[in-house]
Structure formats: C-alpha cells, structure tokens
Amino acid sequence: MKLIFERHKSGRRGFSYALPDVPQAKPLAKQYCRKNDTLLPSLSELDVVRHYTNLSRLNFSVDTNFYPLGSCTMKYNPKFTERIVAFEGFAQVHPLLPQLSGGGMLAQGSLEVLYETEKLLAEITGMNAFTMQPLAGAHGELTGIMLIAAYHKDNGARRKYVIVPDSSHGTNPASAAIAGYKVIVIPTDKDGYMDLEEYKKKLNNEVAAVMLTCPDTLGIFNPNIKRIADMAHEAGALMYYDGANLNALLGKARPGDLGFDVMHINLHKTFATPHGGGGPGGGPVGVSEKLVDFLPIPRVVKRVDGTLALDYHRHKSIGYVAPFYGNFGVILKAYAYMLYLGKAGLIQAAEIAVLNANYCLASLKEYFAPAFDKKCMHECVFSASRQVKNGVHALDIAKYLIDKGYHPPTIYFPLIVKEALMIEPTETESKETLDEFIAVMIEIARLAEENPSCVTQAPIHTPVKRLDETKAAREPNLRWQP
Amino acid sequence: MSYIPHTEDDIRQMLKTIGVAGIDDLFKDIPSELRPKSFNIPEGKSEFEVTQHLRKLSAKNATHLVNFVGAGFYDHFIPAAVDAIAARPEFYTAYTPYQPECSQGWLQAIYEYQTIICELTGLDVANASLYDGGTALYEAAMMALRLTGRNKIIMDSGVSLIYRTMLYTYTSNLSIEFVEIPVVHGQSSREELFKHLDDKTAAVILQNPNFFGAIDDYSDVVSRVHKFGALAVASVYPVSLGMLKPPGEMGFDIATGEGQSLGLPLSFGGPYLGFMSVKKEIVRSMPGRIVGATVDSDGKRGFVLTLQTREQHIRREKATSNICSNEALCALRAVVFAALLGRGGLKELAEHNYWKAEFAKKTLARIPDVEVKSSSPTFNEFTICLKRPADEVVYKMIDKGFACGFPLGRFYKGMDNYILVAVTEKRTREEICLLADSLEAVLR
C-alpha cells in the first residue's frame, strides 16, 4: 500500500479550525520559529480514514483471528469497557485537577476507580497494597525492583544481585540490570523447574531479589515455589512475581500466599484490556506489608468522612514512576472487567484457560514434541525438533499458520526450548476454534514429513511474503523521505 | 458473567481427550496448603449494571469547569476520525507486530508515525513510542550515560518538575550526579549552566517551551554542550512545533516529549504517549521498538520490527532498555491526528494557541493586582503573579466554574503567588473574558 505521505496533495484539508475569535498576535521573532513547514501530508478526511481503515485490514487481531500468542494472553477484549472509558466524566478530566486546592472533590469518581481497583487486585493476589502507576508490565518490573532496592537500603543492606531462571522473560533480567543490579541466571533442570541445587549455590546475603514467573514460561507450576521463597527469605532476599501468567492462577493460588513480596500484573493480559498493537498496557505493582511505605506517591487514601484524597506525605516513598496515577483508561477497563466477571467468572477464566491449553497439548503431543511431558497450566510449549529433521523450523510453521488465517504462537521462546512453539489459547476460544487450529497443526506435521517445501515457502496468501529482515537491520530505512 | 463459550458437553469431551476426570485434576500441581487463604471478590454483574455503576462514578468528576490548566497536559480538540480509526478492532485487539506478514497495517502505521515525529522534531529517526514524556526523558538520559560513559547530568529547572522527579526516582539506585540550573525570570540561565558544563557531563536537558511556557532558542547552548562532548536533550511539546523552531534545527541530539496533545484525551493521566527521536548516528543506542522498511522475497516493499539486537527479548540484561509493551495505539492516534491536520492544519493549530494565549495575557494584565510575569515570549501558557496566595484564588475560581490554572507554589519554592495559565484553541474569547472578570471579582 502507498504511504500516507505518498497520497499528499497540496491544497487538501482533512480538518479545519474555526476562524479565531481573537486578534492575530504579533508574530514571534524569527529566531524562535521553524524555518520550513513540516512535511505532514495534506489530505481529505476520507483520504485519511480510508488509508488507515485499509491498513487495519492488513492486521490479524483477536477480533478477526485466533491469536494463541504464548505469554501474551490474547483473550477477548469486552466492548462495553470501550464505551465506559469514553464517558466524558472520565475522558475529559485533567490529571492535575485533584492536585488543585480543594480539587480532590472534583475527581472523586476517578479516585474511586483507582481505590477500588487496588482493593480488588490486592484480594485477587493476596498482596497488601498496589500502586497503579506503572504503565506496562516491564515498567512494573522496574518499579518492583526499585521498591526492593529501597527496602534493602532502608535496612542498611547493600545487595548487588538479582536471581532469574534461564526460562524467564527477557524483561526480568533487563529490568534488574537497569535498576543497577547484576543478574545471576539459574539453569532449568531436566523436569523443567529452576535447578534447586544451583539456586542454593548462588543464593547468598548479597542477593537482593529472586524474580520468578509462576506458572513459569514453560507453562508449568513449580510445586517447590514455597521452598524457593523460604530459602530466599532466609537469605534476606525478596521474592518478585512476574505476573505475566497470572491468568492461570485466578482463585487457584495467590502470589501473596506463595511467599512473594512484590509483583506486577499485566492488566492487558489477565484483565482483558486491549493490547492495542503493542500498548498501552498497565502494570500495577503489588507489595507485601513490609514494602508498603516505599510505594510511589501519591497514594489514594480514604479520609475519615469517606471521601478519597491523594496522599503525598510518605517520606519513604521512591517517588513518581509515572506522571500521575497510571494508565487510567486501562485501569478503568480492567476494573469494569473484574466487576463483570466477579468471583465465579474469574475462577472460571483460569479453569477454562488451563483446560484449553491442556486440550491443545493432548491433541498435538503425538505430532509435535512437548517441551516437558506433563500437564500444563494456561499455555503449552512444544519443540519443532521432529519437524526440523525435514528442514521445517518453528518459523516455517508460524508462516504456514498465517496463510491459514491463524496468528502464530510465540516462537523461539522460552529460549531454553529449541525451536519452541508456545501456545496460549486463552479461555475465550471455543472448542470448535481449537479443533480447527489443531487440524491445521496436524496438517503441518504431515506436510513436514511429506512435502516440507510447502511449509517452508509459506506464506503465500499474505499482502507481503517473507521479508528481508537482514536488509532492514543493515540498511535502516526508518522514515519516509520525500 | 463471563465470555466463555464452552458448553458442559464441550468441557466433558475436552477432559476426556486430556484424560482427566475433572478440571480440578489440572490444578493438582498446586499443593493444597498453597491454595488461596481468601478470595473475597463480589459476584459478577451484568453489562448494564457495571455500565450504570461506572456512569454514576464518572458523574462524580467535575466536567463543567472551563479548563485553563495545562502544565504539560493540554485540553485540545480531537477530531472524531481519530476515535473512529483507533476503534478499529484490527488495530486495538492486535499485539506487537512480531509476525510482519500478518501485521503490515500496524507496521506501516508505526513507520508513518516515526516519520511524523521526525518531521515535528527535525531529527533523523524516531522509535515506535515510549510510555509517556517522563519515561521518554529518563530513557534519553540513560542513552546519554551509555553513549558518553560519563555520569553527570545537567538539568534545567524549567524542565517539568514531574519529569525531574521521575528521573530522580529511576536513577536513585545508580550513581549519577545531577545538577539543576535555576530558572531566572522564567528562563534558563546560560551563565549558571555553562558554569557547570564540563568534560564529565553526559547530557544537558532542557525543555522548550519550558514549564512556565517560555520559548527559547537553545542553539547557542547546544553548540557549547557539544564542545564538551556531551549530548543535548530537549523535551518538547509537539503542538508548539507547528510553529516553533524544532530541536533538530537547534542541533539537539535527542528530542523527547509527551504526545498527549496529538489526539489523546486527558483521561486523568493516561494512557499517554512518550515519543523520542534522535540523530541517526546514535540510533543503535535508542531504546524501544523501531519499524523499518525492507522488501519481501518478490522485491515488494514491506515493514518489519528492526534493530532488535538492542532489545530485551534478544539481549536480556544487556539490552538498551527493558521496554516491551509501548503505547502503539496512542501513536496511531497521533499519526491519524497529524495526517488529518496536515502541514497547514498543524501550523494553524499552533498559531491559534499562540494567539489565544496572547489575548488572554493582555486581558488578564488589565486586572489590577495581576501581573503577567513572562518577560520572554511564550507559546500557549504563561505565568501570572498575584498579591495573594494562588491556592486560595484557584480554590475560589473553582466556585466560579473555572479551573483557572496551576498554582506554582506546589512545584517551585517562593512561587506561592503564581499561577500557570494555559490557553488552547478550545478556549473562546468569551471564556477568556469571563475568566478575567471572575478573577477580578475574586481578587477584589
């Protein structure tokens, strides 16, 4: 498709402002002004709408395609929450309004959303309190690690290391490193768990935190989790829970009860807010009691008269991690989703998510090698190792699925599984959808044996065929040039 | 309530395929002693009930106030076509375009967004977005530290206090030396800045227009910064760039800012849009997703996520940043907004803001006991000084139906009598005159 800039025609306008009702001011001195106008395109409103509508049609999305992208929880995004965030009383409130003198009373509705969401998340996870500020999961990780650093500093301890298993999300070590820690990586044992012997060896009084995903990225629940936590605590380290996979545990286990001290939640995963093509997300961070004092300011607090207010007077707080109170629009959608599902709905979400993943695992394990031969939680991981013998790689399988109208699973992650295919169907997909997907996967397994080139040449029905990623990286073309 | 499509029969058949008797068997790995100690969540409600409940909550927020509060976050009009495109489920229910062949729509839209940001800021390359203007500024600072191998950062106090606070929070566990340059008469003091500039400096961070709305041409500062081998970082307000000299023209190495003004609702603080653009020599040190153009196996143009060896999913603890999710849908709103306005519309928008603010300045200056404090030119925001505590006046103005501005005493010592007043294109002459009348009445 043409670029929006290639549709430019001088003289067109897509939007006009009313003639100003004030006099033109004296022009600014030249030194303050831009030399040339921008090269923004001039187009009619229809030009713009048609261009982006047609672009949208080149995407796979949850509403148009099954999207079993592992670790991303691409469940259905309710439509009614979109309507709620557009309410004028939510969309048009300036974030500084409650910071004006007497302004707190002007934003009681939004403050209540924040306050109540925090309470619900705390009960769901067994944590003591949440900050809603972090703007995405990785942002929550960074916040969590900073809270841990503040805690140790407050206790006069200088700790240098953060432990992560080699199966962890890339964001875990990256967040720890950016917060100033050195990362220790623990290998995975033959059963798919973090190697306890190695862990014992590496754990000492210089370790600040242990970051874990549970269920882990292999989709399995580590029954030793409490032991791992106890050992960390004995060494004076804190436990960090990466909430990417929380969907599997709703009502089944709570990170707080498992011994975690800090955690983040990806609202756009477990709580069904749209992924938006890569964001915005929401990454609230929950903490156990000993870390509450360090949470970012302001905190939303209830006053004696029942009204809500912003509390800035917390001298141990780490400060601000976002300009205001988090991605409010995202938090609001997650709140509406929780109210709609309620207790039974949340528990059922976890149950059916796990059922769907195990159904895929059971139906496909004859054809693809499971990473570990045991029941899974909300996602199942295969290796394309059998197919590779015939020259069909995980990437080829992904591309063939695209031709068949499926968004591929996550591939080549976790890094510890060769040729990994990580399938997370989520609870909102029906048995029919799964059966059709499974049939295509089985067809791929057969083609890999009988006619591998058929798979390795995919995709052929897409707007573009396989793209030259090497060229993209070697000769970066990152913007349109006239 | 739920969105689960399974019938009881479906569940039975699926359990049979799996080879277990019941769903509980799938959770056997969770030992009984680790089951939830409580799970006191209210029972679900219907869509209608939840909607009504939240409509009531939304009505507890004040929407009747005429808004003159800005401070980095502005009340601009959003064309309906922006909402319509952002509401396309093919955009908002997709995720990061890891698989380019089924994500060309997203990838091209982001490539176009990157171009728009380059055009606005006058720099070479932009990333696919960051969380907000504050985290973008933090990422810019980290980038400067990496590139120079130094650890001192000079920051003008005309940079939003919100962003400065965020920067301090993020770096509290690192050993970075910060120097803050005081603002004199609302403008950055070159004398003070140059005093601290040395060959240990990694970056000098400035904001234009600064927090007080004052416009500057920092070309002289930037060339001095470069003499010391440091990087110049600008935090900018994109709407102002419809008329103001962009950071690229002043020689800045990195520009960041808050993109909320490009078609995003105020929405009580988010979701917003952090943008970043840089000189092409340093692109490989830039954080965040980047989209690049390439060709497919038939030689046809297509787009991919590129330069990924900078990123956490490849480099893990050695990545340039930990960012994974960004604010793609907000970036889409920005590019649609910019395409609708076009080059002429963006200039017009900037001019209207400037003219209305100038009109408001003159109108407020006529009130006895109000002094307009900006000695340098301003864009769409300026400070006024009163003879009484600003807090008290702002409070009384709420009763008159105005959010008349942001009292600066909360952010700046010794500025208890100052109010920062923002005037966007949405404010009418009538509203501005009424603001002046009401303020005069309150001050009387």
* pLDDT tens, position by position, A421-434: 999 999 999 999 99
For residue A199, the distance in angstroms to the closest alpha carbon of chain B comes to: 19
Is B1's Cβ below 8 Å from some Cβ in A?
Answer: yes
How many A/B residue pairs have CB atoms within 8 Å? 707
pLDDT at A102 over 90: no
Tell if the CB–CB gap between B79 and A251 is shorter than 8 Å: no
Residue position matching structure tokens 């303020």: B439
pLDDT at A373 (0 to 100): 86
Predicted local confidence at residue A148, as pLDDT: 98
Q: How far apart are CA B60 and CA B57, in angstroms?
A: 5
| Amino acid occupying residue B133 | G
Contact B359, A51 (CB under 8 A): no
CB A285 within 8 A of CB A256: no
Distance CA B46, CA B54 (A): 12
pLDDT tens profile A256-278 = 999 999 999 999 999 999 999 99
Determine the Cα–Cα distance for residues A274 and A333; give it in Å rounded to an integer: 9
Q: What is the mean pLDDT of chain A?
A: 97
Interchain CB distance below 8 Å, B2 and A126: no
| Residue from the list B5, B59, B328 with its beta carbon closest to the beta carbon of A279 | B328
> From the list B29, B50, B131, which residue is nearest A340 (CB)?
B50
CB of B168 less than 8 A from some CB of A = yes
- Residue spans of alpha helices (H) in A370-461: 385-388, 394-403, 431-450, 452-456
pLDDT at site B187: 85
Which pair of structure tokens corresponds to residue B222? Answer: 């930037």
Residues of chain B with CATH 3.90.1150.10: 66-76+343-443
pTM for the full model?
0.98
- In order, the DSSP letters of A114-156 are HHHHHHHHHHHHT-SEEE----SHHHHHHHHHHHHHHHHHHTT
CB spacing of A467 vs B100 below 8 angstroms: yes
* Paired tokens of A289: 């009691």
Q: What is the pLDDT of residue B319?
A: 87
Chain B CA closest to residue A91: B267
Measure the CA–CA gap between B412 and B399, rounded to whole angstroms: 25
Q: What is the domain partition of chain A in residue ranges? A: 4-56, 82-339, 349-456
**Pairing assessment for the beta strands B231-236 and B201-208 based on DSSP bridges:** parallel
Residue A127 and residue A376 in contact, taking contact as beta carbons nearer than 8 Å: no
pLDDT at B314 (0 to 100):
84
Q: Which of B118, B243, B332 sits opposite A33 (nearest CB)?
A: B243
Instruction: Give the C-alpha separation, B325 to A273, whole Å.
Output: 13
CB contact under 8 A, B265 and A91: yes
Q: Which residues in chain B touch residue A72, judged by CB atoms under 8 angstroms apart?
A: 95
A12, A44 Cβ separation under 8 angstroms: yes
CB atoms within 10 A of CB A182: 13
> Is a pLDDT exceeding 90 seen at residue A476?
yes
Q: Is some CB atom of chain A closer than 8 A to the CB atom of B23?
A: yes
Euclidean distance between CA atoms B31 and A9, whole angstroms: 67
Enter the CATH code of domain A349-456. 3.90.1150.10
Q: Which of B58, B72, B89 lies nearest to residue A90, judging by beta carbons?
A: B58
Closest CA to B303 of A477, A171, A414: A477
| pLDDT on residue B90 | 98
Give the per-residue pLDDT at B312: 87
Burial label, A429 (beta-carbon count in 10 A; 0-12, 13-18, 19+): buried
What's the topology of domain B66-76+343-443?
A: Aspartate Aminotransferase, domain 1 (3.90.1150)
**Cβ-defined contact of A252 to B27 (cutoff 8 Å):** yes
Q: Is B8 on the interface with A (CB under 8 A)?
A: no
Question: Counting beta carbons within 10 angstroms of the beta carbon of residue B46, is it exposed (0 to 12), middle (13 to 18) or buried (19 or more)?
Answer: exposed
Q: Where in chain B is the domain with CATH 3.40.640.10?
A: 80-337
- Beta carbons of B388 and B423 less than 8 angstroms apart: no
Q: Say if the Cβ atoms of B26 and A375 lie within 8 Å.
A: yes
CATH class of B80-337: alpha beta
Phi, psi (5° rounding) for residue A113?
Answer: -60, -45
Rounded to two decimals, the ipTM of the complex is 0.98
Number of H helices and number of E strands within chain A? 16, 13
Give me the helices (H) in B280-323, please: 312-315
d(CA B273, CA A157): 37
Q: Say yes or no for a CB contact (<8 Å) between B406 and A97.
A: no
Interface test with A, best of B24, B28, B85, B102 (most A CBs within 10 A): B102
Contact B205, B159 (CB under 8 A): yes
Q: Which residues neighbour A18 within 8 Å (Cβ) at sequence distance 6 or greater?
A: none
Q: A82-339 has which CATH code?
A: 3.40.640.10
pLDDT value of position B280? 97
The percent of residues in chain A predicted with pLDDT above 70, rounded, is 100
Q: How confident is the model over A441-467, as pLDDT tens digits?
A: 999 999 999 999 999 999 999 999 999
Instruction: Provide the Cα torsion A456, A459, A461, A464; round to 10°.
Output: -140
Rounded Cα distance between A49 and A28, Å, is 35
Interchain CB contact of B32 with A (< 8 Å) = no
pLDDT of residue B313: 87
Q: What's the confidence (pLDDT) of residue A71?
A: 94
Residues of chain B with pLDDT under 50: none
Helix, strand or coil, per DSSP, at residue A439: helix
